[in-house]
Amino acid sequence: MKKEYKILLYAYPFIIVISILATVGVPLFALADVAFLVLYYYILQKSFSKLNIIKNADEYAAFTTANADQRVQDAKAAAEKMRKETEDSCAQKLRTVEDQIKDKREHAAQRARAAELELEHKQKCVAQLNIEIRDLKDEIEVAQREAVAVSSSVPVDYDISSAEYKDKFALAQLNEKECISSNNAVSVYSDAPQSVVNANVKQILRCFNSETAAIIKNVTTRNIDSARSKIIKSFEMLNRIFAPDGVELDRQLLEIKLEQLNCMYGNQVMAEREKEEQRAIREQMLEEEKVRREIEREKAKLDKEERQFKNEIQKLMTYLHKADDIEKQLYVDKIKELEAKLGLLEQDRKNVLDREQNTRAGFVYVISNIGSFGENVYKIGMTRRLEPMDRIKELSSASVPFEFDVHAMIFSEDAPALETALHRQFDDRRINLVNSRKEFFRVSLSEIEKVVKENHNATVTFTAVAKAEEYRQTVRLLESEQ
């Protein structure tokens, strides 16, 4: 269409010119031709104007296209640059975050290790405290068993047997019945009818007797003071409860009940003491039996060695009669050596017989157990064993956590007297002030040594420092673990 338009546009002037030449003689047609020519130029001008616009549009389009490509390239370059910058920034931030995470992880690991070490230390401390608590509980239990009347306000007459205390308890019960039957157990301050008063009296007595009977029945050496308090509180509480009814328990009845409690308590204390004495007697009998067996074994051993030496001497005498002069001297020397050994055996036999006949001869020992009882606590005891260390080993049995250390072993012809003298000397230093058979004293070793050497045996040797090997090794292990 555009091509046809151009052909018409260029052909049109020629048509006009031919028309003008053909119509020169006709003015009207000439005027029309001129008008058409003017119109043609107007149209031609418009056409060229449009062509220029189209040309400019094409050029602009080409320029814009080229510029758009450049912009696309620039945009791509900018986008690539931005991508790289973004990647670099993200990588830097990622490295920073990774470094922070690494630092925090290391810090957390350090804190975790520190927490583990602290936990381990606390667990060891808890274990050590549990051991100390268990030891303290054991000590408390032992102290409660042994402290029969030390912490109690109830006096105990140790010259009265448990059976006599039982008789005193029965007598106190008779006194109670007599007190009630003579109307001295309850005071009446009521104007109520006698039947009501009698009912209230029976009720208050029934309540008091019921409560006190259970308390007295269950009294032990550990709860005597609380039992006394319970009886007194029951007495006061019942009097407050029955005060509106005008009846009140008399103080005389309370004293009788407390006397019954004391008798029951004394019966238990003395029964336990008598059991302890029986145990001590049995232990003494066992110890004497062990001594007897030990002496019999020693005598049998000496008899056997004596027979062996005599048989050897008999053989040597036979060889002596048959030997020449040189060999005779060898046999004579050997016989003299055996006779000397026989003499020593005879002396040993004499010592054993003396120990057998003298039942008071023995060893007084001074021993300690730092791990079990602490510093400056010593046991002063006696044994008649020929081998006194056997007795020390028995004392170091499973009943104590560590072995005893021997500081002195004193032989005496009258060991019980020496033991008693030392016990009396340090009687005010006893650990157990109630049970005298507990032979532990809180005293320094130098004081014991001074008393022994000045009054009993000046030649005995004392070992000042206790080995306490197992205890000291235990302490070192505990310190190393901490």
Count the alpha carbons within 13 Å of 103 in the hemisphere toward its beta carbon.
6
Distance of CA 280 to the CA centre of its chain: 35
State residue 239's pLDDT score: 92
Residue 362 host element (H or E): strand 362-368
Tens digits of per-residue pLDDT, 7-66? 655 666 666 666 655 555 556 656 666 666 666 666 666 665 665 666 666 666 676 676
What is the pLDDT, as a whole number, of residue 404?
93
If we measure between CA atoms, which residue out of 377, 395, 344 comes closest to residue 444?
Answer: 377
pLDDT of res. 152: 45
Amino acid, single-letter form, for residue 92: Q
| Tens digits of residue pLDDT in 389-437 | 888 888 887 678 899 999 999 998 888 899 999 999 999 999 988 777 8
224-232 contacts at long range (C-beta below 8 A, 24 or more positions apart): 224/152, 224/154, 224/261, 224/265, 225/151, 225/152, 225/153, 225/154, 227/261, 227/265, 228/153, 228/154, 228/258, 228/261, 231/257, 231/258, 231/261, 232/258
H/E run at residue 207? helix 194-217
CB 262: neighbour CB atoms within 10 A? 22
Please answer whether residues 467 and 477 qualify as being in contact, where contact means their C-beta atoms are separated by less than 8 angstroms: no
Q: Can you give the pLDDT at residue 150?
A: 42
pLDDT above 60 for 4: no
7 vs 333 pLDDT, higher one: 333
Question: And the tokens for 474?
Answer: 């235990």
Residue 13 is which amino acid? P
Written as one letter, the residue type at 401 is: P
- Give the per-residue pLDDT at 151: 41
Residues 407 and 404: their CA atoms lie apart, in Å, by 10
Residue pair 451/443 in contact (Cβ under 8 Å)? The answer is: no
- For residues 395 and 382, the answer to whether their CB atoms sit within 8 Å is no
Backbone angles phi, psi at 351, to 5 degrees: -65, -40
Quick one: pLDDT band at residue 1, thresholds 50, 70, 90? very low
Residue bearing the bigger pLDDT, 351 or 311: 311
**The dihedral of CA 269, 273, 274, 279: what is its sign?**
positive
Single-letter code of the amino acid located at 389 = M
Stretch 292-306: mean pLDDT: 82
- The residues, any chain, with a CB within 8 Å of residue 113's CB and separated by 6 or more, are none
Residues with Cβ within 8 Å of 405's Cβ and at least 6 positions away in sequence, in order, are 367, 368, 369, 370, 463, 466, 467, 468
Q: Which of 389, 292, 461 is nearest to 381 (CA)?
A: 389
Q: Contact 261/215 with Cβ under 8 angstroms?
A: yes
Which tokens in the block code for residue 137? 């509980």
348-374 pLDDT per residue, tens: 888 777 766 667 888 999 999 999 999
Helix (H, G, I), strand (E, B) or coil at 439: coil
Q: Which residue spans within 186-311 are E strands per DSSP? A: 186-188, 247-249
If pLDDT is split at 50, 70 and 90, which confidence band does 109 have? confident
CB neighbours of 170 closer than 8 A, spacing ≥ 6?
Answer: none
Instruction: Assess whether pLDDT exceeds 60 at residue 6.
Output: no
In this structure, the strands spanning 440-442 and 377-383 are: antiparallel
Half-sphere CA count of 218, side-chain side, radius 13 A:
11
For residue 126, what pLDDT is reported?
81
pLDDT in tens, 127-150: 778 777 877 766 665 554 454 334
pTM of the full structure: 0.45
Q: Which amino acid is at 316?
A: L
Could you tell me if 263 and 168 are in contact, meaning their C-beta atoms sit under 8 angstroms apart? yes
* pLDDT tens by residue, 382-398: 988 888 888 888 888 76
HSE-CB at 438 with a 13 A cutoff on CA atoms is 18
